[in-house]
C-alpha cells in the first residue's frame, strides 16, 4: 500500500512542473509530445508516460522500466 501511495504522489507531482521530465523514447511515434517520469529504485523502476494539454497532465501508461519502449 505504501508503494502505491508513493506512486500516486509521484503522479500528483506532475501538476507542479511536468516539463521537468524528459521526452520519452516513444515521443517520435505520436503527433503530440510524450514525456516520462521515472518512479522507483533499480531494479524496480517504472516509467509514467504522459502528455500535457493546456494546464492538464494526462497519464497515458505506466510501464516497467525494463520493458522495451513502445514501437510503431
Domain boundaries, the chain: 2-64
Q: Which three cell numbers stand for residue 29?
A: 511515434
- Asked whether the predicted pLDDT for residue 72 surpasses 80, the reply is no
pTM for this model (two decimals): 0.90
Predicted local confidence at residue 6, as pLDDT = 95
Sign of the alpha-carbon dihedral angle for 10, 16, 17, 23: positive
- Asked whether the predicted pLDDT for residue 48 surpasses 90, the reply is yes
Amino acid at each position: 500500500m505504501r508503494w502505491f501511495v508513493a506512486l500516486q504522489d509521484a503522479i500528483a507531482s506532475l501538476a507542479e512542473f511536468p516539463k521537468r521530465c524528459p521526452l520519452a523514447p516513444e515521443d517520435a511515434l505520436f503527433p503530440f509530445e510524450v514525456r516520462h517520469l521515472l518512479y522507483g529504485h533499480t531494479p524496480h523502476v517504472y516509467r509514467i508516460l504522459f502528455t500535457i494539454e493546456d494546464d492538464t497532465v494526462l497519464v497515458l501508461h505506466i510501464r516497467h522500466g525494463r520493458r522495451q519502449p513502445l514501437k510503431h
